[in-house]
Structure 1
């Protein structure tokens, strides 16, 4: 397969005007080709192109004759009649001349070269491990460093031409105009928030932050319910705080309208719950494309599992509860949080999916007279502010209300503090939702909407 790709790419460089420029933008070094003669042919193509000469067969042949003499490496095998012109004519006679997939062919060649390099890394590691006194941790560290390097190169090389992005976004604009719909991303089902963010968009990291018991997980569950169950869009939740059973109780409460405590006890007003209703909701939500994991704690494992869910289940939205619980190798807590937030942002770009991560706020917010959060209240806020595309704060007056004072227990505010796709809230502004904490349900309207 590799030789087929190499012949196809060199064929187009030699026969199609402008193809060499497209290839050179992707394949930086001749060593990407496995055959020494093909390396020298591509070297000639690059050198002539940079000098402003069209790299056709005659020009490339003259260059190779001048630099390497008449005979190619293949002549050393005993075929003394084989010269550079024979190699070039063989390449130009090659039948596959479809130029539309040229960039794709280049990326495939890079991936195959990377696979070969990775195989050499693993073979070397196995050889080292078989030596007396081998240090497995040292070998693992070496392998990990090399694999990270290869991963970085592949991620960098997978970038698309900007013209493709312009074309794709233009089509999205056209389709939105035809629909008469301003929401171009995935709807959370919380209409006021969707109107502000225009939905959850691919390659974005959204931080939903608040103090403990403010309602973060309740809002996460409501959004996941609206996306996976109502819209049937594959959705994944990675819970580092709650177990699968705890989240299952929350989703059952949302679907049945029973309180969390009633789902846990099996009783409502000292009478057994309607089991037919409970099992019907469990079956309906269970058949929706919702995938929940509660056993992934470190950044590397999390990235691996998210990629697997995207590949296997077609997951289009990922929720994480919560960001500061993700472990990563770092000398201190601040750098760990920065590594995690940056890792999640890069992952969202690589997979082209929205990632929504919950985050805890520092205690400083409780010390102020005005307890509505601001960006500096985020723990290790510098990295989170920089990496996040959207930052949404939660606030409830009733959370801070003194006993006997008036407060609306069901009011939950969302404060959009950062929004790459639009405006943000000024001091005192917010989106007002109704939250029924006992059943975890959120809505845009009064409790009667529940």
Structure 2
């Protein structure tokens, strides 16, 4: 039997390996369940072997058993008998291998060669794309990345897992948590009153922070990025679709130094303030906070960039804000496009096992209501946002427009949806407008 190292240059298929796998499942049909999680019919190079594997798939799904004779009958029913060598060929395959012991190895080898063929086909497609001058370069790069990324994604197949495996992992997590009682199980936000309700931001959760313009959504997100990146020393990716990377940096410095953003922008600062700003910039230059200010970024572009960063370490993804993203795919209307973006961000959180936190706008309909408290149906442009999100938070500042009101700087953060925890009608915070920064209403506050 040939091995991969024996293949001729440019030969990305192995007939012996394909025949060995089919022979192995004919000898012992019980191994089919294991290898079917690794290899699919279109992973086989030879059409005849694809037809045989499809026949085996169908027979196992309907009859829970198969042999050379029933496979032949299925091939006849599918009009592929003449293309596959008949029952003698099938019987001969069972004699090609002594046992089914190495069936999993055969399957992995076939799948590996199939992926290499797909990579080669993708490379050819990318070469053709490079000559397409009717596409701009950004579109060309995105299509090329999407082509290769799709092959990579197909390698990770989620299958049924025995619950005993889940129990084992869960016990390990419980044991670890029991040794750190009092600590958050997720990433802290820097706001104790929020962390008490959420228990931090958890890996694979997609969370939305929504509010009308001017409520402080960006400041809230930047405050979390500052806490996670600087105080927790974790890796944070900020996708800023509304502000430039320099403006994001300015917001970070304002929160770190408590220097008015306008002073930073104009550089009209005292010597002490300048020293504070320079020290903050030094700290930021060492932090693992990454900013991408690509306008109208697509989910595919965002996913690709996060995937690259994940190799170095990625603990939190922030998107500001969701409705400024472009779907990058054809949809009938904007509602469908936002729904696609929402599902993609939830998929990103699951695929990379990191928290994804996105700002979102609320519908203007809230302004015409007597009750100004946001509800889930106020999420703008898509009903799927409330469905896809694990957590939905609403920021409001009830007395923002009343300049002389004593509670003008008070804000309310309501947890309207919390898939794995409690909701809350309104956590009270303070919003410091010149710094676009939130803090707890009372230090050490625990919400009721």
Give the TM bin, normalised by the shorter chain. Answer: 0.7 to 0.9
Q: Is it true that 1:290 corresponds to 2:301 in the alignment?
A: no
1:239 & 1:245 partners in 2: Cα distance? 11
**Deviations 1:285-306 (CA, angstroms, capped at 9, x unpaired):** 2211111111252313223222
1:248 & 1:240 partners in 2: Cα distance? 14
SS in 2 for 1:159: coil
1:128 & 1:400 partners in 2: Cα distance? 53
Please give the residue correspondences for 1:262-277 in structure 2 after superposition, counting only pairs within 5 Å.
262-268=263-269, 271-277=270-276
Among 430, 441, 446, which residue is 2:437 paired with? 441
Q: 5+ unaligned residues in a row in structure 2: which ranges? A: 5-12, 76-83
Deviation at 1:229, TM superposition (A): 1.0
> Residues 366 and 36 of structure 1: is their aligned pair in 2 closer, same or farther, counting only changes over 3 Å?
closer
Deviation at 1:436, TM superposition (A): 2.1
Deviation at 1:38, TM superposition (A): 6.8
Say whether the 8 Å CA contact 2:19–2:96 is kept in structure 1.
no
2:306 is aligned to: 306
Please give the residue correspondences for 1:6-25 in structure 2 after superposition, counting only pairs within 5 Å.
18-25=30-37
Please give the residue correspondences for 1:286-435 in structure 2 after superposition, counting only pairs within 5 Å.
286-299=285-298, 300-311=300-311, 313-328=312-327, 329=329, 330-401=331-402, 403-409=403-409, 411-425=410-424, 429-435=425-431
**Deviations 1:356-405 (CA, angstroms, capped at 9, x unpaired):** 1101112222223332211122112412112211110001123132x433
Q: 5+ unaligned residues in a row in structure 1: which ranges? A: 73-82
Please say which of residues 228-237 and 370-379 is displaced more in the overlay.
370-379
Please say which of residues 412-421 and 259-268 is displaced more in the overlay.
259-268
**Deviations 1:415-450 (CA, angstroms, capped at 9, x unpaired):** 00111011223xxx211122323223333243799x
SS in 1 for 2:283: helix
Say whether the 8 Å CA contact 1:365–1:377 is kept in structure 2.
yes
Please give the residue correspondences for 1:113-192 in structure 2 after superposition, counting only pairs within 5 Å.
113-120=114-121, 122-123=123-124, 151=150, 154-155=153-154, 158-163=157-162, 164-181=165-182, 183-192=184-193
Deviation at 1:124, TM superposition (A): 6.1
Number of residue pairs aligned between Structure 1 and Structure 2: 415
1:435 & 1:159 partners in 2: Cα distance? 44
Say whether the 8 Å CA contact 1:222–1:441 is kept in structure 2.
yes
2:8 is aligned to: none
SS in 2 for 1:87: coil
SS in 1 for 2:358: strand
SS in 2 for 1:398: coil
> Residues 253 and 173 of structure 1: is their aligned pair in 2 closer, same or farther, counting only changes over 3 Å?
same
> Residues 117 and 224 of structure 1: is their aligned pair in 2 closer, same or farther, counting only changes over 3 Å?
same
Say whether the 8 Å CA contact 2:338–2:382 is kept in structure 1.
no
1:77 is aligned to: none
Say whether the 8 Å CA contact 1:375–1:381 is kept in structure 2.
no
2:40 & 2:161 partners in 1: Cα distance? 19
Say whether the 8 Å CA contact 2:392–2:416 is kept in structure 1.
yes
> Residues 278 and 48 of structure 1: is their aligned pair in 2 closer, same or farther, counting only changes over 3 Å?
same
Say whether the 8 Å CA contact 2:241–2:320 is kept in structure 1.
yes
1:241 is aligned to: 242
2:421 & 2:225 partners in 1: Cα distance? 23
Deviation at 1:93, TM superposition (A): 9.7
SS in 2 for 1:227: helix
Say whether the 8 Å CA contact 1:13–1:45 is kept in structure 2.
no
1:79 is aligned to: none
2:45 is aligned to: 34
1:68 is aligned to: 86
TM-score by length of structure 2 reads 0.76
2:157 & 2:194 partners in 1: Cα distance? 33
2:37 & 2:97 partners in 1: Cα distance? 22
1:76 is aligned to: none
Deviation at 1:37, TM superposition (A): 8.4
Please say which of residues 182-191 and 334-343 is displaced more in the overlay.
182-191
RMSD: 4.3
